[in-house]
Amino acid sequence: MAVTGFYPGSFDPITKGHLDIISRSARMVDELVLAVGVHHGKTPFLSAQERVGLLERIAVPVIRDAGAAGSVVTFDGLVVDAARKSSARIMIRGLRDASDFDYELQLAGMNRTMARDIETVFLAASPETRFIASSLVKQIAKMGGDITEFVPSEVAEVIAERFGN
């Protein structure tokens, strides 16, 4: 039986930390679905279309290089409903530190109650990417700083065009 993994996030913007988790999780599944959360009450840094396009260009080849099929979807409801729609059996979550663990453990418990057929798998961030957070990348970019060490070059270019950096 083929195993589909589901990696949800805002990916706003996609970072080298995301790519680390994507690459490693793609080696554990037959198919990895990257799910861009679209929350209508929030103003994103990059549009959903930009995030999907960047993931398709940057992350899907990483998934294929790891030997899995890859795709990108958007969702705006419950993550477990989106995972089921993608026929996922595994939900992938990345952990940077203890505060991530506490929050993600709560989410996993709630998701498990709503969807007993979907198992949450936590992957610890690699030491090289543990400190990277999309929120900090956005803050640096908005203040004119260099984000090239934290995001793929194509993402840095898109953001530089947006902010004139």
**31 token code pair:** 């198919």
pTM: 0.94
Q: Specify if 96 maps to a domain.
A: yes
How many angstroms separate the CA atoms of 133 and 121, rounded? 20
Q: Specify if 89 maps to a domain.
A: yes
The residue to which tokens 């409903």 are assigned: 81
Q: Specify if 140 maps to a domain.
A: no
Q: Specify if 152 maps to a domain.
A: no
Q: What is the pLDDT of residues 20-63, one digit of tens each?
A: 999 999 999 999 999 999 987 778 999 999 999 999 999 999 99
How many angstroms separate the CA atoms of 97 and 7, rounded? 18
Provide the pLDDT for residue 165. 61
- Percentage above 70 pLDDT, the chain: 99
**3-class secondary-structure state, position 31:** strand
- Percentage above 90 pLDDT, the chain: 90
Summarize the confidence of residues 114-126 as an average pLDDT.
96
Residues recognised as catalytic: 18, 42, 96, 134
Q: What is the pLDDT of residues 72-105, one digit of tens each?
A: 999 999 999 999 999 999 999 999 988 889 999 9
Q: Specify if 164 maps to a domain.
A: no
Q: Specify if 37 maps to a domain.
A: yes
Provide the pLDDT for residue 60. 98
71: containing domain: 4-130
How many structural domains does the chain have? 1
Q: Specify if 154 maps to a domain.
A: no
Those residues whose C-beta lies under 8 Å from the C-beta of residue 131, and which sit 6 or more positions away, are: 96
Q: Specify if 155 maps to a domain.
A: no
Instruction: CATH number of the domain at 93, please.
Output: 3.40.50.620
